[in-house]
Amino acid sequence: MRTRLTASVLGLALIAGCATPGYKAAEKTNNSLSDVKSELITDKSTLRTAVDDLNALVYSPGSDLRPQFEKYSSDVDALEKSAASSRKSARGMSTNREAYLAKWRADTSAIADTDLRMRAMDRIAETEKNFSILSDKLVDADNALAPVVNDLKALRDYIGNDLTANNIKLVSDRATSAKNRSISVNEKIDVAVTELDKVSDTIAPMPTTQPTS
C-alpha cells in the first residue's frame, strides 16, 4: 500500500512538473538579466564618480586635502562593492540560464509533432547563440573594469600614505589615464547592457523594447 501511495505521489509530482509552462523559467532568467543590467548601470555611475573625484583631488585640490581624499576613498569602496555585486549577479544569471535551457530542451523532446519539435530546437539554438554573445560582452566589460578598479585602489593607498600637494602632483598622469580608461570601460558596459536588452526581448513574454507601429 505504501509503495503504491509513494508511486502515486511521485507520479503527481512529475505531472505537476511537466505542466509548469516553460515561460515561467524564462521569466526567472529574464529577472536575472534585469538584475545584471541594474548592477552594470551602477558600476558605470560609480566608476564615473570615483574617477571624477580623483581628478578633482589631483587637479583642483582644496586647502585641506582630507575631505576630497575621504570622498574619493569612499568612492573606491563603493566601486569595489558594486563590481563584486555585478559579478555575482552575472553568475546567478548564468545558473538560471542553464536551468531554463535544460527545461526547454526536455520539454521540446516530448513534443510529438516533428515539425513543431524542430522549430523549437531551432529557437533553442538561436537563444543559446544569443546568450553566448551576451556572455562574451559581459566578460569584456568585467575584464575592462577590474584593472581600473585595482588602479584606483592602488592610487588611494599611495595618496593616503602621503596626503600632500607635492605627492598628489606626481600621480597626475595616472589620474588622467584612469579617466581615459574609464571611458572605454563604460563603452563596454553600454555594449553589454544593449546585449542584455536584446536577449531579454527574445525570451520575455513582454519585451522591454516595444515595437513601433
- Round to whole Å and give the CA distance between 121 and 107: 10
Please say if the pLDDT value at position 205 is more than 80: no
* Percent of the chain scoring above 90 in pLDDT: 73
Orientation of helix 172-203 relative to helix 114-161, angle to 10°: 160
Q: What is the DSSP letter of 205?
A: S
pLDDT, tens only, 26-70:
888 888 899 999 999 999 999 999 999 999 999 999 999 999 999
**pTM greater than the 0.85 cutoff:** no
Structure confidence at residue 203 (pLDDT): 87
pLDDT band at 207 (very low <50, low <70, confident <90, very high): low
Per-residue DSSP letters for 28-86? HHHHHHHHHHHHHHHHHHHHHHHHHHHHHHHHS--SS-HHHHHHHHHHHHHHHHHHHHH
Please say if the pLDDT value at position 16 is more than 90: no
Please say if the pLDDT value at position 9 is more than 50: no
Q: What are phi and psi of 163, to 5 degrees?
A: -80, 75
Q: What is the dihedral of CA 120, 124, 125, 131, to 10 degrees?
A: 160
HSE of 128, CA atoms in CB hemisphere, 13 A:
12
Contact call for residues 86 and 36 (beta carbons, < 8 A): yes
Q: What is the DSSP letter of 206?
A: S
Please say if the pLDDT value at position 14 is more than 50: no
pLDDT, tens only, 98-121:
888 999 999 999 999 999 999 999
Label residue 169 exposed, middle or buried (CB < 10 Å: 0-12, 13-18, 19+).
exposed
- Round to whole Å and give the CA distance between 90 and 33: 8
